[in-house]
Structure 1
Amino acid sequence: MTPPLLGRHRAKDGPAFDPALDDAGLAAARDDLVRGRWSAARRLLARTGEDWDRRGHRVVVLARGTASAAWAREWQLAEPGSADAAVLLACATVFRALRGQDSPGTARALCRAAAAMAPRDPTPWLAVLLLARATGGHDERARAFDQVRARHRAHHHAHHLMAACLAEHQEGDHDDPLHEVYDFAAWAAEQAPPGSPLALLPVVAHAERYRVLARAGLTDPDPARSGHWATPRARQVLRAAFDWWLEWDTGTPGATGTHPRRLVDLNHLAHAKHHEGRHAEAAALLTRIGPHATRAPWSYPDRDPAAAFRAARRAALGVA
């Protein structure tokens, strides 16, 4: 899935959303980096250590800024041996390439250089996967994903990206229940360690397929009318995911905040539960997500997202 646009902002009468989610240290470092001060990013990444999921999330958010590559380059000039500076520069250059401001070849070379400086770190390969989704073929994406997984088998963002890549492979004019994205998500969920948020990946796969079908005009752009969430397969996936969330959320104090990107999973599940018609369960999830709740990225692709979110939240909370 593609992360939302950079920056903390509030659409008029709409939900606030910050891609840093509940990572206050990341938000502060990102804001400093926008102003050309990279020392906070340096300290943040040093503290992150080998928490690979958190590191990937932090590097991606820091790298999305339009000036991030310039400031990362300045940091690298000051500390040429810094693997953190190298990976931030590589990821920022990937985003420049995705915006058409740099070449994919330059971005790939910087990613490989960053990977050579920190062989255990999956983050440079996550950046390669981000680039390959837009500019590479299936084999390149698969190789990048394999490199990430070789370093961290349950890498959250990489699995989301592969689900999005596979979902975008479209043959025919309908949703195939045997589509490869569903097999991939089921396999990843089965392979995930106990307590891993990858248990929710089948929901993400179902959501990504809806996004692709809706954008292609192959299903109703209103998720509630599309019937995509009412099939037996979808209901089974949602039931299993909600049961996992109940066990995980009640059994792990402060669990949602453990890794900010888990809020992305819960947001997917909340909207899917709403469109399935299970408003009480959706309300429980929206309440747990709190101020970070926003529209799911696949919801209502042809309608105003703020209005769609408000309608979904009112229905889920039983407010007229």
Structure 2
Amino acid sequence: MSGAFQPQFHPAGFDSALRVVLDDVRTGRWRSMKALLETCATWGLRTSRSQVLAAAAANGDAVEAWLQEDPHDNAVMMQARVLVERALNAHRVGQRDVGSLADRARRACWEAARSWPADPVPWVGLLALAQVDSPDVYQHRPEHRVDSWEYMLPYGPWGLLREVQERDPGNREAWHRLLQAMQAYGANTHDFVRWVSTWAPAGSPLVLLPLYLHAEHYGIQRANGQLTPLYWTRDPVSHYTLRALAWWFPQADARSWSPLDLNHLAQALHSGGFGEGAAVVFEAIGPFVTPVPWEYVADAPERWLEEFERARSATYAIRKPGRCTPADADERPPQHLQGPPTGGAVPCTPQCPAPFTVPSLPEVTALSSKQVAELIEPLNLSEAHMPDSLATSAAFRRGGERAAIPDGMPLIISPVGADSDLRDALEDLKLGRHSAARDLLSRTGSHWALRTSRSQLLAAGAGEAGVFKAWRDEEPDSPHACMMWARALTRAAVEAYRKGERHQVVGRAAALAQQEWQRLDYLWPECPVRWIGRLHLTQLPYSANYFDPYAQRRRAPWDQLDDPAMHYRGPWPLLHEVNRLHPGNREGHHRMREYFLYRGGGAAAAMQFSAWLVSGRLSNAELLMLPVYSLLDLYRERHGDGRGGALQFWQTAQVRHYACRAYDEWFAPLPATEYPWLSISDLSHLAHALVACGEDERAAWVFKAMGPYALPQPWKDVNASLGRSRDWTDAFLRIRASVLR
């Protein structure tokens, strides 16, 4: 770069035609403004230009003169724009007459909407006024308290946004105005921007919406001494930054770039350590620097320009890639993401649960072998129902139930799938022999994903748990024997609690399990299963930190995540330990989802966790299935008896989004040679979701991967809720045959 940098602060930015007109507007002349608005080729350009013109005209009478001399549609629109701007300015400085100003602006917007029904700008103005309402007024304005389009999002002016969407899908200002309204209402805006980021199409400025929220959040928290610059290097902020670099910057029309968007992206890239990407964006910015977001990261807000110049100079001085460049980001939008969903789902805004009380657990050192047997045997583990995503124990009996069907392909109800070695080990365990299981786990080695799934299925389908106790007694120093006995005790404790067993029975089983997991800490410190088992135990009615042997050493609060986008409390340190030993472990994250489902807020909280998880960068694409499971949990909770639009639930854009994303980004890239190792539970849930939202072509490939295997869920619960045949296999076979035909 040659020559001294000369920043420009002109609100027109790159729009040279708008720059000329603004000078006229400030001097009270309106004819060039009229001519400029008549040349706008897109609604987006009309929206952005009218916003900048209104900000300049709000301090003069150019628009009033235009409306008096030539009451054109554009003049009516600009009058509404100016009145909205004046109301917002009054609101920012706390004027007392802001209510009357907002009412006058609202009437002008309605008049402009009637004057030109196809124009989205008056509706954008109405959206902008939504933030002016106080909480009390908000309660009394019906257009500001409308159900959101998707589950998990709060009430708000969604009807006004829908009007804009119908006229100009993805209108940049409209979505920013909705974000501002939600901030004014005190809603959970992190959920909102995360949701937008899941469907925002490539090239859309909405991809940058999370960066605006995180920049403002950082500025507020840093002023209070609560955040450091490392905030920008962590997920989900770094994920949103790289997504914007790959999805928006190279794919958007450069003529539509907003200097404000470019400055937000450059700041996030520089602060996150992505030097090469930041350099490219700084070049695109040129001289058009904006105070925001630099004032959020500067040592003092008034020194924002120094911060911009420092960041720009440092980036140009390095001129080498940071942690990632656009070519490395490998972020491409899935094919099915064409724009925002517009379904009419009922929102839910769950509250964070109160901390648990801590019942005491019994000591286990005095328990004899006879007492252990009395504790475990009555639980009848071979028949116990396990309502989670990982196994259905009834399907283990007789090696899987088989039914003949007309097309010749059998139906085998078993979670084992094509893993013949696992099936043989299960048969051996049912006969009271553990040698095959021991050999199987030994051969599995340190393939933690396979070891986790196999050990979980062995524990669920073994029949009587005494076979693991006998193995443990026979080989007391075997980590495999210790792991499987701890698995059986953990499952026994959870099943006892769900069956309503006495507190003493649940407590003894939990204490025994905790003792075995602690023993495994010494026998096999590299094994992530010991932390997965502890996560499983958090479903019991005890304080979750009881199951963390290092709870006293960890920072407080123990159960709170350092991420403003996830406000729910939970056993995050246990999940951290799982990821430390095996990043992206499937069962570990499902156990965390189950914690929220059973102990941490219900199906809504589990859905929040799942959506939050998949909004970041995943080390295991299998985790994209978590929202599909959580959607079934929501369905059971809200439509389990067939009430309230049960069929429509599966046809919402939210279901389609998560199902298609799991297919496109997890299942579709897999080679067919890996199909036998996939979870039958995952495939069953994915096939059902794809069929339910009309994606039969995708579903056909999933059915082919399943082969003859299937599990009752989700087919059984959905079938029963709709009042159909009690035998879920009838519906499954009919659907499978139809899709594969």
Q: Same fold (TM over 0.5)?
A: yes
Aligned mates of 1:183, 1:124 — CA distance in 2: 27
User: In the alignment, is residue 285 of structure 1 matched against residue 281 of structure 2?
Assistant: yes
SS of corresponding position for 1:107:
helix
In 2: Cα distance, 1:134 partner to 1:218 partner: 29
Distance change in 2, residues 1:152/1:39 (3 Å): same
Question: Which of 38, 47, 63 is the equivalent residue of 1:56?
Answer: 47
Quote the residue 2:75 is aligned against: 85
Q: Is the 8 A contact 2:84 2:128 kept in 1?
A: yes
2:126 aligned partner: 128
Matched, 1:72 2:72: no
Instruction: Give distance in 1, aligned partners of 2:34 and 2:269.
Output: 40
Shift in CA distance, 246/126, structure 1 to aligned 2, threshold 3 Å: closer
1:126 corresponds to which letter in structure 2? V
Amino acid at match of 1:219: Q
Code of the residue aligned with 2:89 in structure 1: it is R
2:241 — aligned with what?
A: 238
**For the structure 1 residues 97 and 164, does the alpha-carbon distance in structure 2 shift closer, same or farther, using more than 3 Å as the test?**
closer
Could you tell me which residue of structure 2 aligns to residue 316 of structure 1?
A: 315
Do the aligned residues in 2 keep the contact of 1:69 with 1:92 (CA within 8 Å)? no
Q: Tell me, in whole angstroms, the C-alpha distance in 2 between the residues paired with 1:90 and 1:143.
A: 19
Letter aligned with residue 190 of structure 2? Y
1:43 aligns with 2:35: yes
In structure 2, relative to structure 1, the CA distance for the partners of 1:226 and 1:193 (3 Å cut) is closer
Q: Which runs of 5+ in 2 are unaligned?
A: 91-96, 139-143, 146-155, 319-741
How much has 1:300 moved relative to structure 2? 3.1
CA–CA separation in structure 1 for the residues paired with 2:278 and 2:40: 32
Partner of 1:162 in structure 2?
178
Q: What percent identity do the matched residue pairs reach?
A: 30
1:14 offset after TM fit, Å?
A: 7.3
CA pair 194-276 structure 1, distance change in 2 beyond 3 A: closer
Name which one, 1 or 2, has greater alpha-carbon Rg: 2
Shift of 1:288: 1.7
Are the counterparts in 2 of residues 32 and 38 from structure 1 also a CA contact under 8 Å?
Answer: yes
Q: Residue in 2 aligned with 1:207? A: 215
Contact 2:131–2:181 (Cα < 8 Å) also in 1: yes
Structure 1 residue 18 corresponds to structure 2 residue 10: yes
User: Once structures 1 and 2 are overlaid, which stretch shifts more, 280-289 or 296-305?
Assistant: 296-305
Question: How far is the alpha carbon of 1:266 from its aligned partner?
Answer: 2.1
Q: SS of the counterpart of 2:292?
A: coil
Per-residue deviation, 1:77: 1.4
- Structure showing greater relative contact order (alpha-carbon pairs closer than 8 Å, 6 or more residues apart): 1
The amino acid that maps onto 2:215 is A
CA spacing shift, 1:32–1:260, aligned 2, 3 Å: farther
Q: Deviations over 1:102-148 (max 9, x none)?
A: 72111111111111111111111212222222335463644433332
With over 3 angstroms needed to count, the CA separation of the structure-2 counterparts of 1:312 and 1:260, relative to structure 1, is same
Q: Residue 113 of structure 1: which of 106, 111, 129 is its match?
A: 111
Tell me the amino acid that sits aligned with residue 162 of structure 2.
D
What corresponds to 1:256 in structure 2?
A: 254
Residues 193/17 of structure 1: CA separation in 2 closer, same or farther (3 Å cut):
same
* Change in CA separation of 1:67 and 1:202 when aligned onto 2, cut-off 3 Å: closer
* Cα distance in structure 2, aligned partners of 1:106 and 1:63: 16
Q: Distance in 1 between matches of 2:257 and 2:192?
A: 23
Q: How far, CA to CA, are the matches of 1:191 and 1:58 in structure 2?
A: 26
Does the 8 Å CA contact 1:21/1:260 hold for their aligned counterparts? Answer: no
**Correspondence for 2:463:** none
Is contact 1:30–1:62 with CA below 8 Å preserved after alignment?
A: yes
Instruction: Supply the AA of the counterpart residue of 1:65.
Output: A
Consecutive unaligned residues of structure 1, counting only runs of 5 or more, are 1-12, 171-178, 250-254
Deviation for aligned residue 1:194: 4.3
Deviation at 1:58, TM superposition (A): 0.6
Take 1:145 and 1:208, find their aligned partners in 2: how far apart are those partners?
A: 23
Q: Relative to 1, partners in 2 of residues 1:187 and 1:134: Cα closer, same or farther, differing over 3 Å?
A: same
Instruction: Tell me whether 117-126 or 193-202 shows the greater mean CA deviation.
Output: 193-202
**Distance change in 2, residues 1:260/1:284 (3 Å):** closer
Change (3 A) 1:103 1:197: closer
Q: How far does the alpha carbon of each residue in 1:197-233 deviate from its partner, in whole angstroms, 9 at most, with x for none?
A: 3223232332233244346x2634xxxx343212221
Moved more, 116-125 or 141-150: 141-150
Distance 1:29 1:121 in 2: 22
In the TM superposition, what are the counterparts of 1:140-151 in structure 2 within 5 Å? 141-151=157-167
CA contact (8 A) 2:203 2:249 kept: no
CA 1:182–1:233 in structure 2 vs 1: closer, same or farther (change >3 Å)? same
Q: Indicate the residue corresponding to 2:232 in structure 1.
A: 229
Q: Structure 2: how far apart are the matches of 1:200 and 1:96?
A: 27
> Distance in 2 between the 1:234 and 1:118 partners?
40
Aligned partner letter, 1:118 = W
CA separation of 1:152 and 1:190: change in aligned 2, threshold 3 A:
farther
Equivalent residue, structure 1, for 2:530 = none
- TM-score, normalization by structure 1: 0.79
2:112 matches 1:96: no
State the 1:68 CA deviation: 5.7
1:217-252 Cα offsets, whole Å, 9 max, x none, are: 2634xxxx3432122211222222222246416xxx
CA change 1:19–1:203 in 2 (3 A) is: same
Amino acid at match of 2:82: A
RMSD in angstroms over aligned alpha carbons?
2.7
Give 3-state SS (helix, strand or coil) of 1:248's partner. coil
State the shift of 1:42 in Å.
0.4
Which amino acid in the other structure matches residue 7 of structure 2?
P
Aligned mates of 2:158, 2:221 — CA distance in 1: 23
- CA–CA separation in structure 2 for the residues paired with 1:169 and 1:277: 34
For residues 239 and 203 of structure 1, the distance between their equivalents in structure 2, rounded to whole angstroms, comes to 11
**SS of corresponding position for 1:229:** helix
Q: What is residue 184 of structure 1 aligned with on the other side?
A: 192
State the number of aligned residues.
285
Instruction: Out of 237-246 and 159-168, give the one that drifted further.
Output: 159-168
Stretch deviating more after TM superposition (121-130 or 34-43): 121-130
Match for 2:25 among 22, 27, 33?
33
Aligned residue in 2 for 1:175? none
CA 218–151 in structure 1, closer or farther in 2 if over 3 Å, else same: farther
